[in-house]
Structure formats: structure tokens, C-alpha cells
Amino acid sequence: QKEVEQNSGPLSVPEGAIASLNCTYSDRGSQSFFWYRQYSGKSPELIMSIYSNGDKEDGRFTAQLNKASQYVSLLIRDSQPSDSATYLCAVNINSWGKFQFGAGTQVVVTP
């Protein structure tokens, strides 16, 4: 069984601070990794994709991948109340693009 693990939270972050979210995965052969944001009652929206070891930055978001440690993370800089949501880590597990999702980390940004 291929697994993706995330801390469920809630992760409480003061406004303006950095939120750090972690994700580990079990399938060493996985090559593609994604972070989605899901607001309560809404569907997930893609934030970032990452395929190579190292960092990838997009605006206030930075994804980090370490395939040797089977670890992917997401940093949210200058956190805003609008960043309060559940963040889902997803790992591609087959050639059709099937994902294994983590259970999600709830982030609460406090003013």
C-alpha cells in the first residue's frame, strides 16, 4: 500500500510568519509531487508541482523535495488569514496520473 503522510494539524501561524508543512511518502519510485489547497466546502486547487530535488519557488510559496529522504515540504511566507485552509500533499503513483493524497494539514493563520 503506497502511503502519503501529513500532520493533520491544526497548524496555528501568526499573520506574517512562515508556515511549514511536511509530507512523507512511501513509494521510492514516485517522481511527481503536488501541493493543493482546499478551503472548507470547496474543491482542491493546485498550488505547486515539483519533480526535481531541491527548492521551487512561486510567489510566497516554496516547495522542497528530497527524494532520498522521501520527503516533500511546503513553505508559506508572510502568511495571511486568507491562507487558512487545508493543504493536501499528492504523489503521482502511476502513468495515468493517479494520485495518492495525504490526509491534509489544516493551517490557521491568526491576525
The residue (of 15 and 45) whose beta carbon lies closer to another protein is 45
Give CA–CA dist 107/69, Å, rounded.
24
Q: C-alpha cell of 12?
A: 496555528
- Name residue, grid cell 527524494: 67
Q: How far is the CB of 101 from another protein (least distance, A)?
A: 5
Neighbouring C-beta atoms of residue 62, cutoff 10 Å? 18
The residue (of 77 and 98) whose beta carbon lies closer to another protein is 98
Q: How far is the CB of 5 from another protein (least distance, A)?
A: 12
φ and ψ at residue 82, rounded to 5 degrees = -70, -10
Contacts with another protein by CB under 8 A lie at 31-32, 34, 36, 41-46, 49, 51, 88, 90, 92, 94-99, 101-104
